[in-house]
Structure formats: structure tokens, C-alpha cells
Amino acid sequence: MTNRALPPVLRFAAVGAANSLIDFCVFTLAHLGLAIALVPANVAAYALAASFSYFANSRWTFCGRAAARSRREFVTFQFVNLVGLALATAVLVLLARHMPVLIAKLFATAASFAWSFTVLDRLVWPRGENGRRGD
């Protein structure tokens, strides 16, 4: 399937599903399996998943938008992910007080997804000068 056959938000969702699976599995193993505290387990899982996300999104979801990968792109991506991590961790900590931790983790993932796609689409891999997405 070519990139033109699937809009960026659906490609982002596909990468996000894989990313979320990595995040969820690492978090579950760390927090429930190894008894690592909630926040450190979430930070470790999110960091691993964010690394996968950068490479998958830059090479598939938003491919063609930048001629070459740049340091600025990577730094901006990491900043967006740090904010996403803070958002996800805050949602996780707040909701885990009122519901099972894995359900809270799902809500935290959804909040981070909405933030990340919106900002990455506009700042990290924006449309070209002619308004076309390059995908």
C-alpha cells in the first residue's frame, strides 16, 4: 500500500497502535511484573515507545515532508514527546486513584495521542510550501 492510499492520521494511528502496544507492555511488565513505581515505569515505557515512534513516523507516516532528517526535527520531536509524557503521566496518576491502573493507562495514551498528532503534524513534519503534504 502506498502512502497516498492512507491519510497521515491513519498512518499515525497505525504507528500509534504499535507504539501503544510497546508502551503498554513495557509499562505492565515494569509496574505490575517488576513492581517498579508508577511514574518511573511510565517514563521508561514512554521513552522506549517514543524512540520507536520517531523512526516509524519519520520514515512512513510523514515521509516525503522533509528532504533529510535534521537535528531540529529530532529535537522538536523529543520536546513534543516530553510534553506528551508529562500529559500522559499526569492523566495516569490522576486517574489511577479512581480506576484500575491499566484503564487509566489507556486514557493517558489517548490524551498523549491527541496532543502528539496535532503538534507533530504542524511543527515537526508540516506541509510543504505549496500546502501539499508530500505524502
Asked if 128 and 65 touch (Cβ cutoff 8 Å), the reply is: yes
Least confident of 6-20, 28-42, 54-68, 102-116: 54-68
Least confident of 2-6, 90-94, 111-115, 128-132: 128-132
What is the pTM for the complete model shown?
0.74
pLDDT, one tens digit per residue, over 75-91 is: 888 889 899 999 999 99
Residue 118 half-sphere exposure toward CB, CA atoms < 13 A: 8
- Higher pLDDT pick, 17 / 3: 17
pLDDT of residue 124: 73
20, 23, 28, 29 alpha-carbon torsion, rounded to 10°: 140
Mean pLDDT for all residues in the chain: 84
Let me know if 29 is exposed, middle or buried by CB neighbors in 10 A (0-12, 13-18, 19+).
Answer: middle
